[in-house]
A and B are shown apart, each in its own frame.
Chain A
Amino acid sequence: SQQGEEDPQALSIQEGENATMNCSYKTSINNLQWYRQNSGRGLVHLILIRSNEREKHSGRLRVTLDTSKKSSSLLITASRAADTASYFCAPRGGSNFGNEKLTFGTGTRLTIIP
């Protein structure tokens, strides 16, 4: 398992605007997952994108994956106050059975200003 590096570290936008955050990783992956953490609470799984996929949507979320650049981005459209949270990416590679652990970076702290 490898660690993803999220960028930027912090992002503040007005409610209704779109938020984009990025994730870079170092070695080849099987899939990449995005998680959200509201302050001091457990992580919530947002979306999983496989290495053979380029784009995936889930509601207001859009995730892209560029394996040639070893990077992914998470776009949240029409942001709401409830989107205020930290966002983490978790790239995963290697074989099954023993590599399922998630390794997190420092995350992107997103603040939505009402």
Chain B
Amino acid sequence: DSGVTQTPKHLITATGQRVTLRCSPRSGDLSVYWYQQSLDQGLQFLIQYYNGEERAKGNILERFSAQQFPDLHSELNLSPLELGDSALYFCASSVGGQLQETQYFGPGTRLLVL
């Protein structure tokens, strides 16, 4: 158990809908990262937050948005959903700000868009 929690574990929804994925980092970690893993794109970095502020942006689509709240949990919003958004979405956390830090991954949310 990494200490990072993600909810829900599974999500089945339809195109055009909106979903919110939630992540709680390990106690004491200030940085939260979101990654997407799909069969065709592999494991890709989406976005990073550090202590409530966006720190780095990756291949995150404009239809997606994220935020980190004062209690340090983070949410990733996807809307409107498309078939190609079906993927595993991982959240990871680290203390924050240092290259040599380990990132601890949550179990992921499996999203299926029909």
The chain A residue with its CB closest to the CB of B43 is A104
Among A12-20, A67-75, A90-98, which stretch is in contact with chain B? A90-98
A106-B107 Cα distance, complex, nearest whole Å: 19
In the complex, chain B residues 14-51 whose Cβ is within 8 Å of any chain A Cβ: 31, 33, 35, 42-45, 48
Chain A residue, CB-CB nearest to B99: A30
Name the residue of chain A whose CB is nearest to the CB of B47: A101
The answer to whether A45 touches B97, judged by C-beta atoms less than 8 angstroms apart, is: no
In the bound assembly, the distance between CA atoms of A41 and B44 in angstroms comes to 15
Whether, in the assembled complex, B58 has its beta carbon less than 8 Å from a beta carbon of chain A, the answer is yes
Indicate whether A10 reaches chain B with its CB closer than 8 angstroms. Answer: no
For chain A, which range describes its interface: under 10, 10 to 19, 20 to 34, or 35 or more residues? 20 to 34
If A48-B102, A101-B48, A101-B56 touch, whether A42 touches B107 (CB-CB below 8 Å) is yes
Majority DSSP secondary structure for residues of B touching A: strand
Is B2's CB under 8 angstroms from A42's CB? yes
Instruction: Report, as a range, how many residues of chain B touch the other chain.
Output: 20 to 34
Q: Does A113 contact B (CB under 8 A)?
A: no
Interface string of A85-114 (1 = CB under 8 A from B): 000100011111111111111110000000
Task: Give 1 or 0 for each of B101-112: 1 = CB within 8 Å of chain A CB.
Answer: 111111110100
**Docked complex Cα distance between A93 and B102 (Å):** 14
B55 engages A98 (CB within 8 Å): yes
- Beyond the given A40-B108, A102-B45, A102-B92, please list 10 additional residue pairs across the A-B interface where CB-CB is below 8 A: A33-B102, A42-B106, A42-B108, A43-B92, A48-B100, A98-B55, A100-B55, A100-B96, A102-B103, A107-B43
10 closest residue pairs by CB, A with B: A42-B105, A104-B43, A101-B45, A43-B105, A30-B99, A45-B102, A42-B107, A92-B99, A31-B100, A98-B56
Question: Using a CB–CB distance below 8 Å, which chain A residues touch chain B?
Answer: 1, 30-31, 33, 35, 40-45, 48, 50, 88, 92-107
Question: B residues touching A (Cβ–Cβ < 8 Å)?
Answer: 2, 4, 31, 33, 35, 42-45, 48, 55-56, 58, 88, 90, 92, 94, 96-108, 110
